[in-house]
C-alpha cells in the first residue's frame, strides 16, 4: 500500500466519523453524509484488495 493510498484511507475514515449526526447542528442531516463517506471508504478498501490502485 502506497503512502498516498494510506493517507486517502485515513482521510476517508476520519470524514466518515466526523459526519455522524452527533452534534446539534448536524442532527437534521441524518446519516446521509456518513453513509456517503462510508461507501467511499468501502470502495477504496475493495480497490486496494484487488490491487487496482497504483503502487
For residues 16-25, average pLDDT: 73
Which DSSP letter does residue 24 get?
G
CA distance 39 to 54: 20
Q: Is the pLDDT of residue 5 over 70?
A: yes
| pLDDT (0 to 100) of residue 54 | 56
CA distance 49 to 45: 6
Report the candidate in 11, 20, 18, 3 with the shortest Cα–Cα distance to residue 40. Answer: 11
Contact status, residue 53 vs residue 5, Cβ threshold 8 Å:
yes
Tell me the average pLDDT of the chain: 78
Which DSSP letter does residue 1 get?
-
User: For residue 16, what pLDDT band results from cuts at 50, 70 and 90?
Assistant: confident
Amino acid at each position: 500500500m502506497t503512502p498516498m493510498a494510506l493517507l486517502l484511507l485515513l482521510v476517508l475514515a476520519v470524514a466518515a466519523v466526523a459526519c455522524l449526526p452527533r452534534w446539534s447542528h448536524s442532527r437534521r442531516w441524518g446519516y446521509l453524509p456518513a453513509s456517503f463517506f462510508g461507501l467511499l471508504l468501502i470502495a477504496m478498501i475493495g480497490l486496494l484488495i484487488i490491487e487496482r490502485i497504483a503502487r
